[in-house]
Structure 1
Amino acid sequence: MNRNSLWQQEGKVKFQIGNTFYRSQSQIGRDLGLLAAAIYKADTGKLRVLDVMTACGVRSLRYVLESQADWVWVNDANPEVNVTLSQNLASYLEPSSYQITYQDANRVFFDCYQRQDYYDLVDVDSFGSPAPHFSTSLWATKIGGLLYLTSTDGRTSSGHEPEKSLQVYGAYARWHPALHEQGLRLLLGSVLQQANNKGLSIQPIFSLFNGQVYRVMVRVLAHPSSELKHYGFLGYCHHCGHYETVSWRQLSRAVCHHHASPEPLTLSGPMWLGPLHDRPMLQRMEQLAQQWNWPERVQLLQTMQAEADLPPYFFGLGEIGRRGKMDPPPRDRLIQLLQAEGYQASPTHINAQAIKTNAAIAVCIELARQCQSATSSSS
């Protein structure tokens, strides 16, 4: 039996895939988008959504049915999905609550700009890099509104193709152990730069990596602000594993001093170095997820709140073990020891086998040895 003929279920919606595209693993990103959209609707009393790469339409349906969107513009570049998409939408929505078009995304954005038809939430669920839409998506987003971007191009942001990263993000991405967080920060840095170019700025709402897909939601702000102080470089020392943020003014002095003679830092950037998430917004999203009985999302949002303001990198437990010549330490116990020593430390949603902390990796290694000694003594 052709799986595309089967009915699918996500949230409150039953739909068919047909000849469209659907990735069930990406539901986590859709769920977080719905929570943020519902809170925006509660705050402003209205919610108009532009879903510019809709595929089967499940995202558009859920914005209306679960986030209570007043109106959704449903667009896909491929007119051949018309039958499946139209049937899915017509099963739930009144004709007055949506429109369907089949156009290139940038044509849609330009049309919005020409008619001054700005949206409360613009969702750009692109395949590959969203770079062609960094600037143009801002044309359609209301001041104070939400812009939700997607990237599936992990190879470019991971340092394997730094020249391509320079083309796509205007940033030179190098390999280091926290490369998946780097992918999120390159997205944020690029949209910040494009917003500033238009006399605007952004505030990150949340940043999500689900193991395959990078998603960032930002609020578009009216004027450039001091957020550029968070736009800089991340340095990594391959000799000792130390990370350091480097501002533009410090580029000529980018060395690691944790050695008898300073070692050069491997620099990636520029990228966003500030908070990955807006903690007050995440707290409200967590409360709403509890009301909606989404326990897995509640747990995720709690982790994201804990990591929100920590430095722009993480330490993998395997990396700590390798550099300390020992087994990887137990994550939760290491976090407890770091906090007992006065450091900030938390798990990270980006990698279950890693921690975020403001302690140096040398401190993590020393405390990991204590974990190992305690375990050996008790056995």
Structure 2
Amino acid sequence: MINYKSLICEETAYFTVGKTFYRPHSKITRDLGVLAAKVYKQTQEKLRVLDVMTGCGVRSIRYYLESDADYIWSNDSNPENKETIEYNLGFILQENKGKISYQNANNIFFECYNNKDYYDLVDVDAFGSPNPYLSTALWATKIGGLIYLTCTDGRTGTGHLPEKCLQVYGSYGRSHPAAQEQVLRLIIGSALQQAATMGLGIEPIFSFFTGQNYRVMLRLLPKINLSLDNYGFLGYCHQCGEYATISYQQLGKSRCYDQEEKQDYNYTISGAMWLGNLHNKEYLKTMKNLAINLKWRKVSDLLSTMINESNFPPYFYTLGEIGRRGKLDIPKRSQLITALENQGFSATITHINPQAIKTNATLKKCIYIALVS
């Protein structure tokens, strides 16, 4: 039985959890989803949401109330959650603005495709990797619409389980200091490749690592945009710590040359993966303005960081790695960024790792500048 007196409040949503799964610390990922959906509604003037793994229904409630969704389809594969879900979402049903189902997510996606019932936002809050639902989720998404993916399995994509990574993503992920960013890029790359098989494209709106889980918001494009420039490999040299992006055409030819030792070394290569920007800067600026108006300070600060890190290479350098390889005390992040900028380089903090920087300088340059600054 539901204890109706024990309602939880998250922004405008009041709900009960019952036996469903609810993680309060994931609120910021729901905040980002709400903002992205709200921007979409303002530009497209329509928002139909398919929340295919709804859990307790908090995301559906917030999309409806805060993103001004016109219609919500909430689905959960566990019919035992029916009492909780229908209590929480009952007001949406009463207003004839949604429906609830209890099916496997893939069945829902195929039903949408067969009925030509496409959605503006498809939220796939999967446990583990989203890839078992990736290709089918695309069939339920409107061209130009958004797909919000969750990954809770970081070990597979960070190089701990490279053979499983090959099985799940069709890519080989190796271990290196920026491996958390690699997971985001593997997810985007998988979506890009799957969309290409359908004659479509993918654009990341934002890519977010919570410290434990990964969330990627994508936009489905009407034309293929997979290319040798944005879909390829990341090389890491364990000898010197430098990174390089490697295209399919360069495989087998790229080696890291150490000028001091006059010797070249093999890169440890991960991929294929997305090598383009992690975020759409202009979209994020609009989301940030909404967050400021809502007085969501934590979210607006996060969006500022994401905006600044949008256009950097597909990796970062940790401060610990700079200190270790340079045989110096770990540099202060703000001082190193300022020193790099004073030398004509671009540099910024990254939301993925608070003890790292993104820059267009080489690791060797970072070490040198940290030593002399």
TM-score scaled by length of structure 2: 0.97
Contact 1:142 1:220 in 2 (8 A): yes
Q: Deviations over 1:344-376 (max 9, x none)?
A: 1000000111000010001111111124xxxxx
Which has the larger helix fraction?
1
Over aligned residues, Cα RMSD in angstroms? 1.5
Distance 1:91 1:114 in 2: 29
Which residue of structure 2 aligns with residue 338 of structure 1?
Answer: 340
Contact 2:196 2:226 in 1 (8 A): no
Which residue of structure 2 aligns with residue 209 of structure 1?
Answer: 209
Contact 1:306 1:346 in 2 (8 A): yes
After TM superposition, the structure 1 = structure 2 runs for residues 258-337 of structure 1, keeping only pairs within 5 Å, are: 258-259=258-259, 260-337=262-339
Distance 1:99 1:87 in 2: 13
Which residue of structure 1 aligns with residue 255 of structure 2?
Answer: 255
Which residue of structure 1 aligns with residue 137 of structure 2?
Answer: 137
Change (3 A) 1:322 1:5: farther
Write the letter of the residue equivalent to 2:78.
N
Change (3 A) 1:355 1:3: farther
Change (3 A) 1:3 1:232: farther
Which residue of structure 2 aligns with residue 187 of structure 1?
Answer: 187
Distance 1:179 1:94 in 2: 46
Write the letter of the residue equivalent to 2:333.
R
After TM superposition, the structure 1 = structure 2 runs for residues 124-163 of structure 1, keeping only pairs within 5 Å, are: 124-163=124-163
Stretches of 4+ moved more than 6 A in 1?
A: 2-5
- 1:90 and 2:90 matched: yes
Contact 1:145 1:219 in 2 (8 A): yes
Contact 1:5 1:18 in 2 (8 A): no
Aligned-pair identity in percent equals: 55
Contact 1:53 1:76 in 2 (8 A): yes
Write the letter of the residue equivalent to 2:115.
R
Distance 1:307 1:94 in 2: 44
TM-score scaled by length of structure 1: 0.95
Distance 2:238 2:350 in 1: 22
Write the letter of the residue equivalent to 2:325.
R
Report the CA distance between 1:11 and its aligned residue: 1.2
Structure 1 residue runs of 5 or longer lacking an equivalent are 372-379
Matched length: 370
Which residue of structure 2 aligns with residue 22 of structure 1?
Answer: 22
Which residue of structure 2 aligns with residue 377 of structure 1?
Answer: none
Change (3 A) 1:95 1:79: farther
Write the letter of the residue equivalent to 1:156.
T
Which residue of structure 2 aligns with residue 348 of structure 1?
Answer: 350
Distance 2:199 2:45 in 1: 27
Distance 2:195 2:266 in 1: 32
Deviates more, 1:69-78 or 1:93-102: 93-102
Write the letter of the residue equivalent to 1:307.
E
Report the CA distance between 1:6 and its aligned residue: 3.6
Change (3 A) 1:4 1:210: farther
Contact 2:228 2:248 in 1 (8 A): no
Distance 1:258 1:18 in 2: 59
Contact 1:4 1:18 in 2 (8 A): no
After TM superposition, the structure 1 = structure 2 runs for residues 353-372 of structure 1, keeping only pairs within 5 Å, are: 353-371=355-373
Distance 1:8 1:321 in 2: 45
Distance 1:210 1:95 in 2: 35
Report the CA distance between 1:92 and its aligned residue: 6.2
Distance 2:279 2:65 in 1: 26
Write the letter of the residue equivalent to 1:220.
L
Contact 1:5 1:17 in 2 (8 A): no
Aligned to 1:232, the other structure's residue is in SS state strand
Deviates more, 1:320-329 or 1:191-200: 320-329
Structure 2 residue runs of 5 or longer lacking an equivalent are none
Contact 1:201 1:227 in 2 (8 A): no
Change (3 A) 1:4 1:53: farther
Report the CA distance between 1:90 and its aligned residue: 1.8
